[in-house]
Chain A
């Protein structure tokens, strides 16, 4: 009698553990599977093009304003650089890897200067062209401005240079009187709008799903917890196979008798 009872108790116990493990892991298995499917088709779902707007999540990821925001008043407008993003007022206009040095309005264009390149925009923020050393631009620009007789000027280590409206000829003008573009503080309302815009471009849905899938969204605890769920899944698979095998064998035995 005892020889028959023991396996039944063991089987019942495995059934129970299988059931509890299944119930406990169900929600997490759904999350892991759903995020896995989405990540597998990341480009199809355009997950890398969708940006998170929720403030609490942006705060959670620590996406804050950059420490330095070079900002320059250009007549009634503002040019500013938030990391690599260039803005004309509240409009994103360009990606720039190099820091901007100044910006001026000249001949109905907005000219933004970097150390070795000028970016020329229309007043609405459309890029007209880049002007580089190939076009004769002096290198090592330290400042940009407009002279008292309305010529575009740059200052480099070698002195002051002015150019024509096509930016094709640069002439040394050591004694030119220039009003240089100066770094200033953005007006509070512009700063606030740009902060929202900048933060809105800081976190992709793909990143959040990846972190949710791996558990990293919840720090080290999340990673270990995901490991634990993975162990549960392995247990479920093994116990499921075990239970099915025992049951099939029993049924076969029962049929023989």
Chain B
């Protein structure tokens, strides 16, 4: 009986380890290609790309939002009327999270995690979480006017996505409709 119990324990341990390995591998992935996201937002007719330089005062504010210098000097965006779409990267723990953010009239219309490269914290891609960003705007302190509930075990990913949302809102304020 003791031997059988040990065997059972080993079986459970191995199953748990395999499950953990599989779930960390599943966390990483491209959930939607940026191109497909744009086609989806603009109904297969995306406008031409525009570019914005992150220099001078903009760079200072971006540095304040990200709490580090921006990793690049120029970002792309797509604009049609009052809507603009931003595809941005920010490091969660060690790897960048790529998100597509739609801004409409100074408010977030949609946030979608497009590529997640970390081994943990991919819960941020689920609709129950990203829904919280809907209709959020930027206040004078460059913070979201909505509070965002965190997810235990995904703190850094939540922080990265919140920073990207604030960044997209700020950058959208720098363009003319």
Binding site for B on A (CB under 8 A): 120, 122, 126-130, 132-135, 166, 168
Residues of A within 8 A of B33 (CB): 134
Total interface residues in chain B, CB < 8 Å: 14
A127 to B49, CA, bound (A): 19
For the A-B complex, the count of residue pairs with Cβ-Cβ distances under 8 Å equals 29
Contact A166:B73 (CB < 8 A) given known A134-B38, A134-B87: no
CA distance A135 to B74 in the complex (A): 13
By secondary structure, the B interface counts as: mixed
A135 adjacent to B76 (CB under 8 Å): yes
* B73 and A126 contact, CB distance less than 8 A: yes
Bound together, the chains give a CA A129 to CA B75 distance in angstroms of 7
Q: Are B35 and A129 in contact (CB under 8 A)?
A: no
Q: Determine which residue in A120, A130, A134, A135 has the highest number of CB atoms from chain B within 10 A of its CB, and name it.
A: A134
Q: A134-B34, A134-B35 are in contact. Are A129 and B49 (CB under 8 A)?
A: no
Which chain B residues border A122 with CB–CB below 8 Å? 73
Select one of A126, A128, A168 contacting B49, CB under 8 A.
A168
Does the CB pair A129–B72 fall under 8 Å?
yes
B48 at the interface (CB under 8 A from A): yes
Min CB distance A107 to B, Å, is 13
The distance in angstroms between the C-alpha atoms of A113 and B73, with both chains bound, is: 18
**In the A-B complex, the 8 residue pairs with the closest CB atoms:** A134-B34, A129-B74, A128-B73, A127-B72, A128-B74, A129-B72, A134-B35, A168-B49
Interface check B155, CB cutoff 8 A: no
CA distance A134 to B38 in the complex (A): 9
B8 within 8 A of A: no
User: Is the contact region of chain A dominated by helix, strand, or loop, or is it mixed?
Assistant: mixed
Give CA–CA (A165, B25) in the complex, Å. Answer: 39
Instruction: Provide the bound-state CA to CA distance between A132 and B76, in Å.
Output: 11
The answer to whether A127 and B35 have CB atoms under 8 Å apart is no
Indicate if the CB atoms of B71 and A127 lie closer than 8 Å. Answer: yes
> Could you list 21 examples of A-B contacts with CB < 8 Å?
A120-B74, A122-B73, A127-B71, A127-B72, A127-B73, A128-B72, A128-B73, A128-B74, A129-B72, A129-B73, A129-B74, A129-B75, A130-B72, A133-B35, A134-B33, A134-B38, A134-B76, A135-B49, A166-B51, A168-B48, A168-B49
Q: A129-B74, A129-B75, A134-B33 are in contact. List 14 more A-B contacts (CB 8 A).
A: A120-B74, A126-B73, A127-B72, A128-B72, A128-B73, A128-B74, A129-B51, A129-B72, A130-B72, A132-B34, A133-B35, A134-B76, A135-B49, A168-B49
Chain A residue with Cβ nearest B89: A130
